[in-house]
Structure 1
Amino acid sequence: MNRFAIRHHNYSDFVHGIAGAFGVEITNNEFELPESLGNGFLKGVDLGNGLSVLMAEASLRHGLVLETEAVEEEFYLLNFQETNTEINYVSDLQPEGSIPLLTGVYLRSSLNSAQYYLPAGHLRSVSVIMPLTWMQHFAEQNESGIMLEHLRSIPFQKHHLQLMDTEYRIIISKLFDPELKTPLRELFIGNRVMLLIEKFFTKHYLGLNSVEKEKQLTAEERERLAEVENKLVNGLFEETPTIDDLAKMAAMSATKLKRSFKSIFGLPVYEYYQKHRMHVAKDILLTGSYTVKQVGQRVGYQNISHFAAAFKKIHGVLPSQMLVNK
């Protein structure tokens, strides 16, 4: 099993260090993974003001252990992680003392050391280094000083701070769009990363008023709900699972599943599913490479009229108008 120690304060240095260790070429702070690890890429981006971003999309052949050391300089690492790995699979392979990085949003302070486990399989990850001075300025600008103090008081935790939802996924999918090869790519990346950060802080601030809801669910139940959400958004082209199927996956009653899912993700199960697949449909339409009928079929509709009505309900326009306006 491969192990990597992370000792850098910005991700451009980290990317250069990893590329050098494997003897691979690096261009514009980006390199392709060697075949021994799998396939995919890592890219470092410096946004200024001490903000640094690491983007990774890869299919790993084997699990990786990432070790981070505590340092005296206080900064924060915010990680948005998407994987296709299930919890039961990870628990059998996870090295002792490590924390599995599954689908979710994680925050860690540089004042704490940690050992993370990245399981084999496909992953997308956006990690941001945020200096304390930048976070304090951000909190002042957004009148959220109380929220920042709460974040700084959170002890190092085993489980992710927030569950991934469809709004996070939509922003992240645009960051990894293979068509994004323009000279303005890094400006676009900076804009989307700031949207992710803003969404994280907003969700956390709003969540401070709903702590009791969070306490009603165990960490394991939250993990199971994350699996349910992952199944819904990544199984768009398969047969839609029933509530009973999802409840079995979450190891809870159908009633509790529906109540807990809405509490965590803000929408009932199928309304959430519908919103996500209409956003997927919009992104596909905007490529200009598919007809309305083809897009409808890709998100599970055989009847084009039903697809058009569902699309208009979410976006306010018919799918054909998206093609006209492109």
Structure 2
Amino acid sequence: MFVLQYNHNDYELILNDIANELGLRTKNCTLYFPDDIGSGYIRCAKLPNGLQVNIINASLHQDWWIHRIKSNEEFYTLRFDEMEIPENLTIAIDRQEKVETRKKIGAAYLTSSLFDWYYIGSNGLKFKGINILFSREWIAKYLDLNNVDDVLSTYLSIKADRVELEPLDDEYIRLMSEIFNDDPDNPFPVLSMQNKLLILIERFFTRLYERHKNMQFSVKISANELERLQQVESILIKNFSSPPPPIPQLAKVAAMSPTKLKKLFKAVYGNAIYQYFQKRRMKYAADLLITKKYSVKEVGTKLGYANLSNFTLAFKKEFNRLPSEF
């Protein structure tokens, strides 16, 4: 098992710690994993506006434990994670654990240096994450939010001492995809990266503040209901080559009526269930096409389209471009 413990708030130092533990070297604040450790990369940057960003796009070939030890220096990390979990993943804040097993998850959540935080993951985990590090003073200076202290106080009192994941909706997925499409071998796209990160941060904090002040969501959703909705979402995106399960079947998984499931799912993910499935399906198609490894026909087949014309029409409806133009 790979083990790393740290308590500083500097992504370049953390990346160097990982490299030292693995006996590797970084180049331009980028670390590529060797085959015995994993595949993919981690890269980081300090941006002119004071943000630090850490981007990971990797599959891991061994078990691992990453532990940030709490400190008295107050910093915050906003995490946007997409993961495919082959066995188990444990996420913990201040020793309160949330365990996910054999599923895909996409979530945004906030952690603070004032609390212990750790990940324990199993061999085979596929991980795409964008971590953004900032101070309280940065939030007050750069974000156009009223009552910044109230926003962070809400977080500290409600979220910081337990794991509460906000599902990634279609807009989060779109913004993250734009960041992951940057080639890690090229120089860091500083200005465009700053703009994309600011959009992610502002969106998260606005939703956090409005949700907990009951300004945005008229639908009340308990933590248990949210977890069951995440189970439904995981089932929906597990296999795009087959039609999604019928809503009555998903309602059994969620232990709620079909009407309630449809209402809560749309409140959390921003789209109706089958609309969400189709958007994620087309996003997966775009990801495959970007790699240049598959033809349009091969991608359509992977997504379960027997008729290539139907795939082309669905893709153009989502992106206003033909798949051959992507």
What band does the TM-score fall into relative to the shorter chain?
Answer: 0.7 to 0.9
* TM-score w.r.t. length of structure 2: 0.80
Superposition RMSD on alpha carbons, in Å?
Answer: 3.4
Of the three residues 84, 106, 110, the one matched with 2:113 is 110
Shift of 1:314: 3.6
Whether the 8 Å CA contact 2:79–2:132 is kept in 1: the answer is: yes
Structure with the bigger percentage of strand: 2
Cα distance between partner residues in 2 of 1:296 and 1:218: 37
- Deviation string for 1:233-262 (max 9, x for gaps)? 352234433324433443444333222211
Please tell me the residue identity of whatever aligns with 1:26: T
* CA distance in structure 2 between the aligned counterparts of 1:62 and 1:289, rounded to whole angstroms: 27
Identity %: 31
The answer as to whether partners of 2:74 and 2:135 remain within 8 angstroms in 1 is: yes
SS at match of 1:117: strand
In the superposition, the TM-score normalised over structure 1's length comes to 0.80
Can you give the 5+ residue segments of structure 1 that lack an aligned partner in the other structure?
none
| Aligned: 1:165 with 2:169 | yes
Q: What is aligned with 2:43?
A: 43
Gaps spanning 5+ residues in structure 2: where? Answer: none
Corresponding residue of 1:213: 219
Q: Taking structure 1 as reference, are residues 100 and 53 closer, same or farther at Cα in structure 2, changes over 3 Å only?
A: farther
Contact 2:74 2:113 in 1 (8 A): yes
8 Å contact kept, 1:225–1:250: yes
SS in 1 for 2:88: helix
Q: Is the 8 A contact 2:91 2:163 kept in 1?
A: no
- State the Cα distance separating 1:272 from its structure 2 match: 1.2
Residue 116 to residue 191, structure 1, CA distance change in 2 (3 Å): same
Alignment of 1:224-303 (within 5 A): 224-281=228-285, 293=297, 295-303=299-307
**d(CA) in 2 for partners of 1:74, 1:236:** 42
Change (3 A) 1:40 1:224: farther
Relative to structure 1, the CA distance from residue 32 to residue 114 in structure 2 (aligned partners, 3 Å threshold; closer, same or farther) is same
List per-residue Cα deviations over 1:153-212 (Å, max 9, x = no partner).
435243234112232223223323375644354444433333322321233244242566
Q: Which moved more, 1:68-77 or 1:246-255?
A: 246-255
Distance 1:172 1:93, change over 3 A: closer
**How big is the shift at 1:79?**
0.9
**Partner AA of 2:268 in structure 1:** I
Report the Cα offset of residue 78 of structure 1.
Answer: 1.0
Distance 1:37 1:17 in 2: 15
Structure 1 counterpart of 2:204: 200
Secondary structure of 1:198's counterpart equals helix
The CA distance in 1 between the partners of 2:300 and 2:34, in whole Å, is 38
Change in 2 beyond 3 A, CA 1:283/1:35: closer
User: For 1:306, which of 286, 294, 310 is the aligned residue?
Assistant: 310
Structure 1 residue 40 displacement after superposition: 2.8
Count residues with an aligned counterpart.
Answer: 316
Partner of 1:150: 154
Q: What is the CA–CA distance in structure 1 between the aligned matches of 2:33 and 2:322, rounded to whole Å?
A: 38
Q: Residues of 1 paired with 2:195 and 2:230: CA distance?
A: 27
